[in-house]
Amino acid sequence: MAADLARLWEREMWTGVYRPVWVTVHLGDEPIDAIAFVVDPAHPQYAGELDLDTQARYIAAACGEFGSCHDYLTSTVRALEQLGLHDPHLSELLTRVSEYVKAPKQ
């Protein structure tokens, strides 16, 4: 678990856009302590409120040190589904991003 946390910390904290916050989540009736990475709205990389289409265009084009944002979003949606969780916003976002990724470049 320590190695997983180290990789997660390296991936999420290297730009300073997030701050780690301990939260309690519930799996069924069981409360579990977890770390959430919360965006700092004062950080220069914070984009603010973007409509779904703008989010999709940015994600489709973005690639960072650890891979493409499209792949990251796909992995997130699939992992949630494997846990029996469905996030309608993320699913719709993934559909839109995938359409941009598949679209021919102009």
What is the per-residue pLDDT across 58-101, written as a single tens digit (0 to 9) for each? 999 998 877 899 999 999 999 999 988 899 999 999 999 999 99
Q: Where do the structural domains in the chain lie, given as residue ranges?
A: 1-46, 47-106
Residues contacting residue 26 through CB under 8 Å, at least 6 positions apart: 32
User: The pTM is what?
Assistant: 0.74
Single out the residue of 13, 105, 17, 18 nearest to residue 57, CA to CA: 105
Q: Which of 10, 12, 30, 92 is catalytic?
A: 12
CA distances from 9 to 19, 39, 42, 103 (A): 10, 14, 20, 33
Query: What average pLDDT does range 12-25 have in this prediction?
Result: 85
Q: Which residue type occupies 100?
A: Y
Q: Which residue type occupies 77?
A: V
For residue 11, what pLDDT is reported? 72
Q: Is 12 an annotated catalytic residue?
A: yes
